[in-house]
Amino acid sequence: MRQLTNLRHDKLAMVSLIVIFFTLLCGLFAPFIAPHDPAEVDMGLRYAPPSWDYLLGNDHLGRCILSRILFGIRPSVLWVLLALVISVMIGAIVGFLSGYFRGRVDAFLMRVCDIMLSFPGYVMALAIIGVLGVGLENILIAFIVTKWAWFARVIRTSVRQFAESDYVRYSKAIGVGHGRIMLKHILPVTFADIAVISSSSISSMILQISGFSFLGLGVQAPTAEWGMMLSEARSVMFTRPELLLAPGFAIIFIVMAFNFLSDSLQVALDPRSRGTRDPRRKSLSLINPGSRKEVAETK
C-alpha cells in the first residue's frame, strides 16, 4: 500500500522494525548463533559472573543465560506470532462473511462471537490450560480460542463500511463472484485495520505467555522462555538481581517495539490521524506563507 511508505519517514517506526526484524532473525537462527547449548547444566559455573565465554553469565544450574535468551525468542515471540496469525485468519474469515453477507449469516456468527467474548480472556485461557494441561502448545491453543472472536468483531465492523460501496455494488451487478469481490475490493481497504489490531495484540500476547510461564502454567523446563527465566531468578532477585535483567529487558524491548510500530502503523494508514506525526507536514506548510505558526508548532 502507498500509505506504508510513510513509515520510512518515521524514525521510531523504523527503529521498531529493525528491533523486531533482528529479534525474529535471532530466534530463527538461534541454534547457529547461540554460543552454548541452552539446556547444558554445569554446576561448576553456578551463578558465574559474565565472562568472554558467557557474556551474560550463568544461572542457578550453570546454564548460559545468553543462549537461553536467544532460544527463548522462539516460544516468547515466534510461536506467539504464529498463534496471532492463525487467530487473525480465523477472525478475518468470520468477519468478512459476517460483514459482507449480513442478514442471518451476520446474526448467527455475531452471536457465536458474543458467547466467546462473554468470558474474560484470562479466565478462558486459564480454563483451557486447566483442561488441557500446562505447556506451550496448550497456551497457544488458548490464545487462538480466546482471540479470534475479538478479531472477527473488529474486522466485521471494517468490512461493513465498504460492503455497500458503489464499486462493490457495480461488481455485483456485472456478475463478479463474492470471493473475488472480497479479495480484490474489500481486503485491500480493510488491510489497515487488520494490520493495526494485529500489531497491537501481539504485545499483550507476549506479556500473557511470559506471565503464564512465570506462574508455572506455560512453557516448562528445560525449554528456555523469558517468563520462566524470570521465575527461576525470583529466588535470588535481591542477591543476584542481574539475572532478572536479561529476560526482563528482552520482554520490555520487544513489547515496546511492537507498541511503537502499532502506533506508527495507525498514523501511517489513517489519514485522519496523521496530523503532526507526519514528518512531511513541516515542508508542506512552507508552501503556504500564512502557515508560519503551524510550522513553529510542528518543530
CATH number at residue 9: 1.10.3720.10
Q: What gap in Å lies between CA 212 and CA 207, rounded to an integer? A: 9
Q: What is the pLDDT of residues 48-69, one digit of tens each?
A: 888 898 888 888 888 999 999 9
Q: Which domain holds residue 240?
A: 2-298
Q: What is the CA radius of gyration of the chain?
A: 23
pLDDT of 71: 94
* Grid coordinates belonging to 9: 519517514
More confident position, 244 or 267? 244
Quick one: pLDDT band at residue 293, thresholds 50, 70, 90?
very low
More confident position, 5 or 281? 5
pLDDT of 279: 41
pLDDT of 286: 37
Mean pLDDT of 261-281: 61
pLDDT of 281: 40
Total number of domains in the chain: 1
pLDDT of 5: 65
Q: Which of 171, 2, 16, 153 is nearest to 90 (CA)?
A: 153
| Phi, psi dihedral angles at 58 (to 5 degrees) | -130, 155
Residue 202 corresponds to which amino acid?
Answer: I
> In three state form, how does the secondary structure of the chain look?
CHHHHHHHHCHHHHHHHHHHHHHHHHHHCHHHHCCCCCCCCCHHHCCCCCCCCCCCCECCCCCEHHHHHHHHHHHHHHHHHHHHHHHHHHHHHHHHHHHHHCHHHHHHHHHHHHHHHCCCHHHHHHHHHHHHCCCHHHHHHHHHHHHHHHHHHHHHHHHHHHHCCHHHHHHHHCCCCHHHHHHHHHHHHHHHHHHHHHHHHHHHHHHHHHHHHHCCCCCCCCCCCHHHHHHHCHHHCCCCCHHHHHHHHHHHHHHHHHHHHHHHHHHHHCHHHCHHHCCCHHHHHCCCHHHHHHHHHHC
pLDDT of 103: 84
Tell me: cis bond preceding 279? Omega within 30 of 0 counts. Answer: no
Quick one: pLDDT band at residue 271, thresholds 50, 70, 90?
low
pLDDT of 215: 85
More confident position, 254 or 275? 254
Q: What is the pLDDT of residues 218-257, one digit of tens each?
A: 888 788 899 989 988 888 888 888 788 889 999 999 999 9
Q: What is the pLDDT of residues 170-201, one digit of tens each?
A: 787 887 787 888 888 888 878 878 888 888 88
Residue 169 corresponds to which amino acid?
Answer: R
Calculate the alpha carbon distances from 244 to 59, 64, 207 in Å.
Answer: 10, 14, 16
pLDDT of 182: 83
Residue with cell 561448576: 44
* Grid coordinates belonging to 61: 544450574
Residue 288 class from Cβ within 10 Å (0-12 exposed, 13-18 middle, 19+ buried)?
A: exposed
For the cut 80, the answer to whether the pLDDT of residue 288 exceeds it is no
* Of 28-32, 85-89, 260-264, minimum mean pLDDT range: 260-264
Residue 50 corresponds to which amino acid?
Answer: P
For the cut 50, the answer to whether the pLDDT of residue 292 exceeds it is no
Q: Which of 27, 78, 80, 92 is nearest to 205 (CA)?
A: 80
The upper half-sphere exposure of residue 128, i.e. CA atoms within 13 Å in the direction of its Cβ, equals: 22
pLDDT of 30: 92
Total residue count of the chain as it appears in this document: 299
pLDDT of 186: 83
For the cut 80, the answer to whether the pLDDT of residue 296 exceeds it is no
Q: What is the pLDDT of residues 73-129, one digit of tens each?
A: 999 999 999 999 999 999 999 999 998 888 888 899 999 998 888 888 888 888 888
Quick one: pLDDT band at residue 3, thresholds 50, 70, 90?
low
pLDDT of 152: 92
Calculate the alpha carbon distances from 176 to 3, 99, 149, 179 in Å.
Answer: 27, 18, 29, 9
